[in-house]
């Protein structure tokens, strides 16, 4: 019975190993000088071997302990707010009287609010605002500002917004009544400027292409050659002629489908369609594009083919934010279709981590297993055999339990 139990245990462990698929690629990280958080760049070379959702990346230390990280990706378009301070032309304070603040709006841009950056206070103030184009003759804008609750519970300063009718004066004068309490500590005055910024990308290297023009089909076929799969978020074409063009283009990628009898066949399906125009930059966003077999078709209709000088794919800058220690050797493991995205406690403390972190780049990327090793490994790589083994283990365990109960019942009381 003990021998049979040992056989069952070995069989069960074999099944577990079969399910625990290994990562197929690894990259080393350079040593860090000090303890702290770092941004680990996910380069196009690493991205070539990860899943489309980047879920199969793991970070390990020298003892092969998994290190938590936060995944950060540049957005295609990011909206940011910047506080832009106005020039303070005059700032005077008369004890028991008024504080006078004169600001300059040099471009005479149209504004309807001013933000005051104040040191925390819990006093109540009355204030008025006027405007001028020469800083001598003033015209009223607001005369009943009621300033109160001028403090923040999370910081030592607070931004207080003063709204007023839309105007374009060059100068604005704020008068604060200090007759009942000490003056406010005004650090600066300005406005929040909202602007959009394009995300940052890294060029995917070593993607070559060849162009074939078909007069019969009235199409141009562009075939790509790349040593590794391409994970790209943007595609940009450099076209030198003709002078004027307006063409529809479609990007096709290989897809593998299964028929009813489980036979796999390859087909090319459209993954992106866009328009090439002579009056704009021909750069296009791709949605989760990753392929090692793809081509581009341009519909020329009756126009001459395009002269394409260069085609470049780009990967959106992606980072792993992780705490690293001096003296430890770290590496990334990736390339495992079976794993799910990790869930770390670190995600709940994202706001506590500085945005300005040093960046390190993985080196010495290497494959841990041959791409077709899966086909020539043990019998436990076949899912049908794995499930048959599991059922066999369950059956044998049931038989052992039955025999054990019988033997126990035969023992003398």
Range 142-155 average pLDDT? 83
Residue 22's pLDDT is what? Answer: 84
Residue 398's SS3 state is: helix
Q: What is the pLDDT of residues 26-67, one digit of tens each?
A: 999 999 999 999 999 999 999 999 999 999 999 999 999 999
Pairing of the two strands 186-198 and 111-119? antiparallel
Q: In Å, what is the CA distance from 273 to each residue of 118, 250, 252, 297, 381?
A: 52, 4, 9, 10, 39
Range 182-209 average pLDDT? 88
Which residues lie across from 99 on neighbouring strands? 93, 176
Q: Do 282 and 236 contact (CB within 8 A), yes or no? A: yes
Residues of 110-138 as b/e, b for ≥16 C-beta within 10 angstroms?
Answer: ebeebbbbbeebeeebbbbbbbeeeeeeb
Q: In Å, what is the CA distance from 266 to each residue of 50, 192, 226, 288?
A: 21, 54, 19, 20
Does the pLDDT of residue 395 top 90, yes or no?
no
Does the pLDDT of residue 19 top 70, yes or no?
no
Read off the pLDDT band of 389 (50, 70, 90): low
**Per-residue tokens: 286:** 């791709």
Least confident residue range of 114-123, 228-237, 262-271, 372-381? 372-381
Model-level pTM?
A: 0.66
Q: What is the mean pLDDT of the chain?
A: 86
Q: CA 373 to CA 335: how far, in whole Å?
A: 14
Q: CA 354 to CA 352: how far, in whole Å?
A: 7
What residue has token string 């099944």? 15
Q: CA 58 to CA 3: how far, in whole Å?
A: 39
Q: How many beta carbons lie within 10 A of that of residue 222, not counting itself?
A: 20
DSSP state of 379: G
Least confident residue range of 228-232, 234-238, 380-384? 380-384
Range 293-317 average pLDDT? 96
Q: In Å, what is the CA distance from 151 to each residue of 18, 82, 175, 186, 348?
A: 61, 21, 20, 12, 27
Does the pLDDT of residue 217 top 90, yes or no?
yes
Q: Do 77 and 196 contact (CB within 8 A), yes or no? A: yes
Range 134-144 average pLDDT? 93
Q: Do 57 and 332 contact (CB within 8 A), yes or no? A: yes
**Per-residue tokens: 280:** 């704009």
Residue 268's pLDDT is what? Answer: 94
Q: CA 27 to CA 367: how far, in whole Å?
A: 9
What residue has token string 């070539």? 48
Residue 17's pLDDT is what? Answer: 41
Range 352-361 average pLDDT? 92
Residue 264's pLDDT is what? Answer: 83
Does the pLDDT of residue 312 top 70, yes or no?
yes
């Amino acid at each position: 019975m003990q021998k049979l139990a040992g056989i069952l245990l070995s069989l069960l462990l074999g099944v577990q190993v079969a399910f625990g698929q290994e990562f197929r690629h690894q990259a080393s990280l350079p040593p860090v000088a000090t303890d702290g958080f770092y941004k680990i760049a996910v380069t196009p070379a690493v991205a070539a071997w990860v899943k489309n959702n980047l879920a199969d990346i793991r970070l390990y230390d020298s003892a092969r302990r998994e290190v938590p990280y936060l995944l950060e990706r540049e957005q295609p378009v990011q909206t940011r707010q910047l506080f832009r301070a106005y020039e303070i032309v005059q700032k005077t304070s008369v004890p028991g009287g008024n504080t006078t603040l004169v600001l300059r709006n040099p471009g005479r841009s149209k504004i309807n609010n001013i933000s005051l950056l104040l040191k925390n206070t819990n006093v109540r103030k009355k204030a008025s605002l006027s405007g001028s184009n020469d800083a001598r003759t003033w015209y009223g804008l607001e005369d009943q500002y009621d300033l109160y609750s001028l403090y923040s519970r999370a910081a030592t300063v607070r931004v207080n917004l003063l709204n007023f009718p839309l105007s374009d004066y060059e100068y604005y004068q704020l008068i604060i009544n200090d007759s009942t309490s000490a003056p406010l500590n005004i650090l600066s005055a300005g406005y929040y400027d909202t602007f959009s910024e394009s995300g940052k990308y890294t060029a995917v290297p070593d993607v070559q292409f060849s162009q074939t023009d078909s007069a019969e089909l009235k199409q141009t076929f562009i075939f790509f050659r790349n040593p590794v799969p391409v994970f790209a978020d943007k595609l940009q074409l450099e076209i030198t002629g003709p002078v004027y063009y307006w063409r529809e283009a479609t990007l096709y990628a290989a897809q593998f489908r299964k028929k009813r009898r489980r036979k796999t066949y390859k087909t090319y399906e459209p993954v992106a369609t866009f328009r090439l125009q002579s009056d704009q930059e021909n750069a296009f966003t791709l949605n989760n594009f990753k392929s090692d077999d793809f081509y581009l078709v341009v519909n020329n209709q009756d126009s001459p083919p395009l002269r394409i000088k260069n085609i470049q794919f780009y990967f959106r800058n992606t980072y792993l934010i992780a705490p690293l220690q001096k003296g430890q050797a770290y590496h990334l493991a990736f390339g495992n279709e079976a794993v799910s995205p990790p869930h770390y406690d670190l995600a709940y403390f994202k706001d506590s981590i500085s945005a300005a972190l040093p960046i390190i780049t993985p080196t010495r990327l290497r494959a841990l297993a041959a791409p077709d090793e899966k086909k020539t490994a043990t019998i436990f790589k076949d899912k049908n055999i794995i499930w048959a083994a599991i059922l066999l283990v369950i059956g044998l365990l049931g038989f052992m339990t039955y025999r054990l109960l019988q033997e126990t019942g035969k023992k003398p009381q």
